[in-house]
Every structure is written in structure tokens, then in C-alpha cells.
Amino acid sequence: MGTRITFVTGLAVGYVLGAKAGRERYEQIRKATRDFVASDTVQNAGHAAAGFGRDAGGKAVQKLGERLPERVGRHLPESWHSSSNGEHAQDGRSAAQRRYHDGL
């Protein structure tokens, strides 16, 4: 119950202080935020972080692919294998069906 009272009190104080600051202060804060985000330093940092994320993601996917057992590949759809062309063997089974049967 005490947490609710504290929350409601904080909400009321924030509302009153925000109302006293008015629209002019709101516009000042908005402009400062927009200028900050548009600055070259922030833009460069954002691009660097995005590039780092792409590089790290690519490396993670590569390592994951190296560590997955070969057997998992047998259960992937045929469309994921470049060597499969959907041909059926003489017994009428597709390549995916043969891989599944042979792997189990």
C-alpha cells in the first residue's frame, strides 16, 4: 500500500511541476534533444554501434554454423540446400526423405 501512495504522490508532484514549467520549457527541452540527436558526434557513434552489431552478429552466426552437428542439416528443408534440385530417386523418395531416413 505504501508503494502505491509513493507512486501517486510522485505522479502528482511531476504533474504540478510540469504544468508550472509550461509549454515554453517543453519546447526548449524538445529542441535541445533534437539538436543533440542530430549532432555529428551522436550520428557517428550510432553508425559505429550499428556496424559493430552487424559484425558481431555475423561472427556469431558463423561460429554457430561451425558448431552445429552435421546431422541437423539433414532435417532442413530441401530449399535450403543448393545441391538439391528436388529430384526423386528410383524409389520415389525425395532427397530430404532419404537424408531423414539415412540419418535416423
pLDDT tens by residue, 2-43: 788 888 888 888 887 777 777 787 788 889 989 999 999 999
Q: What is the pLDDT of residue 79?
A: 59
Angle 69-74-103 (CA atoms, 0-180°, nearest 5)? 85
Residue labelled with grid coordinates 532435417: 75
Task: Name the least confident of 22-31, 39-48, 71-80, 83-92.
Answer: 83-92
Rounded alpha-carbon distances, angstroms, from residue 96 to 23, 47, 64, 67, 104 = 66, 42, 22, 22, 12
Measure the N-to-C terminal CA separation of the chain; round to a whole number of Å: 59
Share of the chain above pLDDT 70, in %: 64
pLDDT, average across residues 64-80: 67
Q: Which residues partner with 94 through β-bridges?
A: 88
CA distance linking residue 77 with residue 73, whole number of Å: 9
